[in-house]
Amino acid sequence: MAPSSLLKAALIGNPNSGKTSLFNQLTGLNQKIGNFPGVTVDKKTGISKLTVDQQAEIIDLPGTYSLYPKSADEQVVMDYLFDAFLKATPDFLIVVIDASTLERNLLLFTQVRDLGFPVILALNMLDLAERDGKKIDIPTLSKKLNVPVVAVNARTGEGIEKIKAAMACPLHNAPERYFKPVEIAPAVISAVKSHMKIDNDYMALLLAHQYEGMLSLSAYDKAAIDAIVKENKFQSYSIQSTETLKRYDLIRGIIKDSISLPPVSFEKNRWSERIDKVLTHKVYGFALFFAVLFVMFQAIFAWAQYPMDLIDGLMGFLKQTLQEALPSGSLTDLLTEGVIAGLGGVLIFIPQIAILFGFVAVLEETGYMSRVMYIMDKVMRQFGLSGKSVVPLISGVACAVPAIMATRSIDNWKERLITIFVTPFMSCSARIPVYTVLIALVIPSRPILGIFNLQGIVMMALYLLGFLAAILSALVLHWILRSKERGYFIMELPTYKMPRWKNVGLAIIEKVKTFVFEAGKVILAISIVLWVLATYGPKEGMQEAKIAGEREAIAKGFTPAETENYIASKKLEASYAGHFGKFIEPGIRPLGFDWKIGIALITSFAAREVFIGTMATIYSIGDQAEDTDSVVQKMSKEKDPQTGAAYYNVARSLSLLVFYVFAMQCMSTLAVVYRETKSWKWPIAQFIFMTAVAYVSSFVVYSLFE
């Protein structure tokens, strides 16, 4: 058998053209996500088996309407094409075209062709075009455009074999020049061409327009092009506008013979519009949106519980098995208490993240999410946010890390920055265990109005509190930040479609992977560091703690298991973490917290739910019974050494709850904010701001209730 050869291809097309569906059809589960160099936009690549001995590596480029980028996502396309142009990779580009809006989709096609890339045109959504009464003559279109045109249905998978066959055939489309930029800007083009040593007029023109934003240009080249542009008084806007109009003229000429439009009287397919009238209605629209949110949160709380219990049980089993099988020692402890516990802390969140992003994917697939952005935009704008901020804010309820990455679709930098800044205020899944314990501790389970439970209402109030903090902080930032850059809300509302479950499934896998690899590695690393801090301490202190613990245990007549747990808590007190806790105690005393809570606040930096485990150790429950009930029980028995009353009284518990609602206690989030904003300024500002809000609110709550 001949050795298999690997072709390289890239998928490019308008948003909503079905590009990602086609990518999923071609590659299936053979996908991996990486990063484009220098930016944080996800780079999805996959392998597609074309024939027995030929495979293609396909890159799914972000959707764009033209080669003039207006967001971070779109900039990637231009940088990728420039790089591909210089290196003469890939072998070809597949331009995905939505046949129902053929004219607009062909704009990008002509631009790509003018760069000289070999192209296969994948004509998608012909069924939609036909429903609109449009008929497309594919052979004529192919002849006119001088490229292979393959009809596909990315939803059903129809035509996938044909496109694979077209990819396997060597491609020889002659270079085409649709638009002749030399006519508009001859001097600039020839100067850029000779400086960059390239021979393509259109690439030279694109560089003259976009050199400032290009990530793949060196500072030297940027300066040179800048000089050329200034010297020739290059009118970027008017030239771009001339180009686009010229292209539309050309496109109309080309498709004139290959498309037959419906007669004017033809009642266009307006069902999507009729659905819109209901879904964007000022009463029904909002009512439906809140109903969807309600179901979503219900699902996160109720459905996720089963798989979460399962994961919890499995990790517990694994830990116990390893502890029994391996010789006892610090290495085993590191593995079981540090690594396994950290891993468990990561895996436990997967069900909630999968469910939430499953919902988001379905809403996006159906086209409903665009309508949510549409109806929420005016409201969100009052707070300096955009309708597009809705998705990150909702996602923040699962985990802020993928939520912050979802802000990339917001074109306006100020709106995006504010969204990034306030998203961590949304109560994420890691806060739930903390809320549960503290609520169970002081809020009685009492029915309210017959159907509600007081504990449930307090839980909801905490979510609301987080949301209010997000939205009010956005308002503050809206006043502080000044921006001349304009935000667009010029956005296509795609027609409603049934969700493709394959796409939903792949989207879930993608988000879970993001969480595990982005947030997970930080959580794991910090868990290990914290384990070390909580296990080791100044040598003499640790020794004394052990001896004192043993002595006191005998005096109190503890069983061997109780003794072990008691010693563990004594050792924690003497450890580095204990010292830290005592070090910050003066600072947190106004909030009603002692050094024990101080340790929990510090360990919460790995993930907030570590609070429970820390409390379990501090109150010497031992790790065999690390469940919520025993922690609650133990904490409720803790007495205030001065007054003898319950230590975790209403004031202290509420103060702690409020602190966890507001405080920035997540390293993974800070890391992702740094990456997305490319500066330490924003994560630091966020940390200080959120911690300050938490501190002040806790102080107020504690003073009020005490």
Nearer to other proteins, 66 or 473 (CB): 66
Q: Quick one: which of 656, 295, 691 has its CA closest to 443? A: 656
The string of DSSP codes covering 234-264 is --HHHHHHHHHHHHHHHHHHHHTTTEEPPPT
CB 562 within 8 A of CB 545: no
Nearer to other proteins, 57 or 130 (CB): 130
Nearer to other proteins, 102 or 588 (CB): 102
If one asks whether residue 280 binds other proteins (CB under 8 A), the answer comes out as yes
**Residues near other proteins (CB under 8 A), total:** 44
Nearer to other proteins, 378 or 681 (CB): 378
Contacting residue, 490, 498, 555, 645, with other proteins by CB under 8 A:
490
Q: What is the torsional sign of CA 497, 503, 505, 510?
A: negative
Residue written as token pair 């180009």: 243
Q: What is the dihedral of CA 590, 592, 595, 597, to 10 degrees?
A: -130
What secondary structure, in 3-state letters, does 638-695 show?
CECCCCCCECCCHHHHHHHHHHHHHCCCCHHHHHHHHHHHCCCHHHHHHHHHHHHHHH
With contacts defined by CB under 8 A, name the span among 65-73, 299-307, 353-361, 432-440 that binds other proteins. 65-73
With contacts defined by CB under 8 A, name the span among 33-41, 226-234, 303-311, 485-493 that binds other proteins. 485-493
If one asks whether residue 178 binds other proteins (CB under 8 A), the answer comes out as no
If one asks whether residue 23 binds other proteins (CB under 8 A), the answer comes out as no
With contacts defined by CB under 8 A, name the span among 196-204, 217-225, 372-380, 577-585 that binds other proteins. 372-380
> Omega of the bond prior to 263 within 30 degrees of 0, cis?
no
Contacting residue, 27, 75, 100, 395, with other proteins by CB under 8 A:
100
Contacting residue, 240, 633, 636, 649, with other proteins by CB under 8 A:
240
Contacting residue, 492, 550, 552, 594, with other proteins by CB under 8 A:
492
CB of 101 to other proteins, least distance (A): 5
Q: Which two tokens stand for residue 45?
A: 């690549």
Pairwise CA distance, residues 580 & 583, whole Å: 5
Nearer to other proteins, 370 or 677 (CB): 370
If one asks whether residue 244 binds other proteins (CB under 8 A), the answer comes out as yes
259-278 positions binding other proteins, by CB under 8 A: 268, 272-273, 276-277
3 state DSSP class of 356: helix
3 state DSSP class of 489: coil
Instruction: Provide the mask over 382-401, with x wherever binding to other proteins is found by CB under 8 A and - wherever it is not.
Output: -----x--------------
CB of 379 to other proteins, least distance (A): 7
25-54 positions binding other proteins, by CB under 8 A: none
Pairwise CA distance, residues 28 & 66, whole Å: 27
Q: Quick one: which of 596, 441, 606, 584 has its CA closest to 521? A: 606
With contacts defined by CB under 8 A, name the span among 3-11, 493-501, 537-545, 663-671 that binds other proteins. 493-501
> How many CA atoms within 13 Å lie on the side-chain side of 103?
15
Q: Which two tokens stand for residue 688?
A: 């200080």
Contacting residue, 245, 287, 302, 692, with other proteins by CB under 8 A:
245
Nearer to other proteins, 270 or 681 (CB): 270
Contacting residue, 314, 331, 379, 448, with other proteins by CB under 8 A:
379
CB of 39 to other proteins, least distance (A): 22
Helices (H), 98-197: 102-114, 126-131, 138-145, 160-168, 186-196
If one asks whether residue 536 binds other proteins (CB under 8 A), the answer comes out as no
If one asks whether residue 70 binds other proteins (CB under 8 A), the answer comes out as yes
If one asks whether residue 256 binds other proteins (CB under 8 A), the answer comes out as no
Angle ∠(281,284,285) on CA atoms, nearest 5: 55
CB of 507 to other proteins, least distance (A): 23
CB of 652 to other proteins, least distance (A): 43
If one asks whether residue 18 binds other proteins (CB under 8 A), the answer comes out as no
With contacts defined by CB under 8 A, name the span among 63-71, 117-125, 302-310, 668-676 that binds other proteins. 63-71
The string of DSSP codes covering 395-458 is HTTT-HHHHHHGGGG---HHHHHHHHHHGGGS--GGGHHHHHHHHHHHS---EETTTEEHHHHH
If one asks whether residue 104 binds other proteins (CB under 8 A), the answer comes out as yes
Contacting residue, 107, 150, 394, 507, with other proteins by CB under 8 A:
107
Pairwise CA distance, residues 1 & 7, whole Å: 18
Nearer to other proteins, 31 or 210 (CB): 210
If one asks whether residue 576 binds other proteins (CB under 8 A), the answer comes out as no
If one asks whether residue 237 binds other proteins (CB under 8 A), the answer comes out as yes
Q: Which two tokens stand for residue 333?
A: 């402890």
CB of 104 to other proteins, least distance (A): 4
With contacts defined by CB under 8 A, name the span among 33-41, 421-429, 488-496, 563-571 that binds other proteins. 488-496
CB of 30 to other proteins, least distance (A): 32
Contacting residue, 489, 536, 576, 699, with other proteins by CB under 8 A:
489
With contacts defined by CB under 8 A, name the span among 86-94, 492-500, 555-563, 607-615 that binds other proteins. 492-500
If one asks whether residue 483 binds other proteins (CB under 8 A), the answer comes out as no
Residue 136 forms beta bridges with which residues? 259
Phi, psi of 452 (to 5 degrees): -95, 160
Query: Which residues are CB-neighbours of 291 under 8 A, at least 6 positions away?
Result: none
Phi, psi of 43 (to 5 degrees): -110, 110
Q: Which two tokens stand for residue 397?
A: 């309820």
Contacting residue, 476, 493, 548, 671, with other proteins by CB under 8 A:
493
Which string of b and e fits 264-296 if b means at least 16 CB within 10 Å? eeeeebeeeeeebeebbeeeebeebbeebeeeb
Query: Which residues are CB-neighbours of 659 under 8 A, at least 6 positions away?
Result: 591, 601, 694, 695, 697, 698
Distances (CA, A) of 502 to 21, 63, 391: 9, 19, 21
Instruction: Provide the mask over 113-152, with x wherever binding to other proteins is found by CB under 8 A and - wherever it is not.
Output: -------------------x--------------------
Contacting residue, 378, 589, 637, 678, with other proteins by CB under 8 A:
378
Pairwise CA distance, residues 374 & 494, whole Å: 12
If one asks whether residue 65 binds other proteins (CB under 8 A), the answer comes out as yes
Question: Which stretches of the chain bind other proteins, using CB under 8 A?
Answer: 65-66, 68, 70, 100-101, 103-104, 107, 132, 237-238, 240-241, 244-245, 248, 268, 272-273, 276-277, 280-282, 285-286, 370, 374-375, 377-379, 381, 387, 486, 488-495
